[in-house]
Amino acid sequence: MWVQKMIRLLGRLIFYMLLLPLMIAIIYTLSHEQWRAALIFIVLCVIVLYKGLIRLTIPEKSVVVRDGKVALFFPEKTVRDRFDFASRGQTVIQLPHFGLLDRPYKLEIFSPDTKGGLNSCRLSLDLDYIMELTACQRAYDNYVLYQDRLPLEVRRQLLKISAHLGWPFPSHGEEDREEYLKPIVAELNRGLEDFGLKIEEATCSFTAGPTLVRFVAPEQEMVEKAVEPGGAFPESVGHSTGL
């Protein structure tokens, strides 16, 4: 993702911006026989070189890859020796986070009631990576395939699945809502497995009425028109587009 690439680029720029003045300062102090100042700058240069070239800070949600195969997964931020990976021909890659895991996905599921009206479940989904090597391999493969379009592809997958979902509306109470959400979350998780993702938390607000107005993003409208027979929405649903 471009945000993570910019963060890595900024880190390398800071490293070279620190290293270059220190090298100049060492050369200057040595040429003028300022031994104490030269020693201080040499120590600082060694510290910068260690942190920039040897010490490797691995961000959370990172994988270790060799020849396109995922060997390790780091769910939390950690620090390792860079040469442990370089000597094996391995590369550390952070899986996408911004735009994918940092905000909930919004979905709407409609189902008819027994009185000819409609029930609406407005879902808010927080996603996370599945902490298994096979799932991490799928997450990495999709990252390589889609790059910055990965959040959009995940949203399309969720919308395609949700367009075919519909369960009886819960009567009342928190236990009824939890029972209502279980099959929905299970079905959505089956689709997310292809991306190495899972639903970490799901919340739903319910609305019922004879006619419901939908406010959906343009990409959701296009996906739902593609999956609905004849490319049309149900006649009993009022529809408007918005963000």
Task: Give 87-115 pLDDT, tens digit per residue.
Answer: 788 888 989 888 788 888 888 877 776 66
DSSP state of 170: P
Instruction: Using CB atoms within 10 Å of the CB of residue 172, give its burial: 0 to 12 exposed, 13 to 18 middle, 19+ buried.
Output: exposed
Residues 56-78 have a mean pLDDT of 90
- Collect all residues with Cβ–Cβ distance below 8 Å to 127 and sequence separation of at least 6: 100, 101, 105, 154, 192, 197, 198, 199, 200
pLDDT tier at 176, thresholds 50, 70, 90: low
pLDDT(37) > 60: yes
Task: Give 226-240 pLDDT, tens digit per residue.
Answer: 555 444 433 333 333
pTM: 0.70
**Which domains occur in the chain, in start order?**
2-91 (no CATH), 105-241 (3.30.479)
Q: State the residue for tokens 């609905």.
A: 228
Tokens representing 136 are 């991490």
**Cα–Cα distance between 97 and 42 in angstroms, integer?**
38
